[in-house]
Amino acid sequence: MSHTQLTLKQRFKIEFLLELNWLKKDIANSIRVSPATIGREISRNGGDENYDARKAHSKANRRRKIGKKKSKKLFVNDFVYLYTQEKLNLYWSPEQIAGRLRYDWGVVICHETIYDFIYSEKPEWKKYLRQKKGKYRRRHGTRAREKKREEARKNRIDTRGNIVEKRERIGDWEGDTIVGGERTTGIITHVERRSGYLLGDLFKKKNSELIKDKIVRSFKKISKDKKYTITYDNGTEFSAYEFIKKGTGMDIYFANPYHSWERGTNENTNGLLRQFFPKRSMFVKLRQKDVDDKVKLINNRPRKRLGYLTPYEVFVEGKIAIQGRM
């Protein structure tokens, strides 16, 4: 078995089993480590008669801390320590210091090791660093930059084709969620723009991966000629949108932030669904069948904008309705 650090819980179990006079090999099997690990652990911590789990864990933590210090070249190599201090005083960056150590002296040290040393052992040296706020600059930029790059990749609603805006075909959808009282549960709603046909998928955990799987599974039941686009709001639950696009074969667009009226069909239909699932109502005991039953009621309710046809008649049966405003 590979070497692994024992946890405090495992050490308490060792102490308990020693009191029951278990053999070391049986203790090892019980906590799934090698017999050598158990033998070493007991012998360095008082033996069979005096083993104390708490003291053993405390000693192990001290040994690990000392071991980490010894592994750092800045601790064990006076030359590297003094060289680093000297060049920091000249406002060299840790990367520049590491580069010249390698070039001039053949000393290999990672610049991140220098950063770690400064922030954990020599915080007074931070004043020589250009970036003083965080630990050090993240390799791929700040979280704000990453978020900005992510937003830039999204297709915004104003890049959709005019055919979507005019509701000239079936197959353009709007998507959102309505949230349960627990704040972690909810219903994923998709509404087809021309017909008003609703899909509703219950989720018990607000997780983008889980929600992506439910969306892909739901749209597999819809024929290809009724799947062109989906327009979402900017909730993090749709952050796996690239996988939704791949799984459904549909183009994904996003409304502009805080512009809920840009998905008016979806917002209005969510209001219809809220008649059955009011705000702050708990969804934890809700079943998918409960959602399906209410969705069916909504899809079979006549709509004025459809000339009093139902969404089911327009979407499924292909009846033609004169489009008005929703």
Q: For the segment 110-121, what is each residue's pLDDT rounded down to a tens digit?
A: 888 888 888 878
Q: Is the pLDDT of residue 2 over 50?
A: no
Mean pLDDT of 186-213: 96
Task: Please provide the average confidence, as pLDDT, over all residues in the chain.
Answer: 87
Dig out the tokens for 284 from the structure.
């934890």
Residues 30, 293: Cα–Cα separation, whole Å: 51
Q: What is the pLDDT of residue 70?
A: 47
**Rounded to whole angstroms, what are the CA distances from 236 to 147, 200, 206, 297, 314?**
11, 18, 9, 29, 32
Mean pLDDT of 235-244: 92
Residues 62, 68: Cα–Cα separation, whole Å: 10
Identity of the amino acid at 15: E
Model's pTM, two decimal places?
Answer: 0.57
Q: What percent of the chain stands above pLDDT 70?
A: 87
Q: Is the pLDDT of residue 136 over 90?
A: no
> pLDDT for 61-97, tens place per residue?
887 766 555 445 565 678 888 999 999 999 899 999 9
Mean pLDDT of 55-60: 89
Q: What is the pLDDT of residue 292?
A: 97
More confident site: 186 or 135 = 186
More confident site: 134 or 14 = 14
Mean pLDDT of 201-214: 94
Q: What is the pLDDT of residue 219?
A: 97
More confident site: 104 or 130 = 104
**Rounded to whole angstroms, what are the CA distances from 111 to 44, 65, 139?**
36, 21, 12
Residues 49, 19: Cα–Cα separation, whole Å: 8
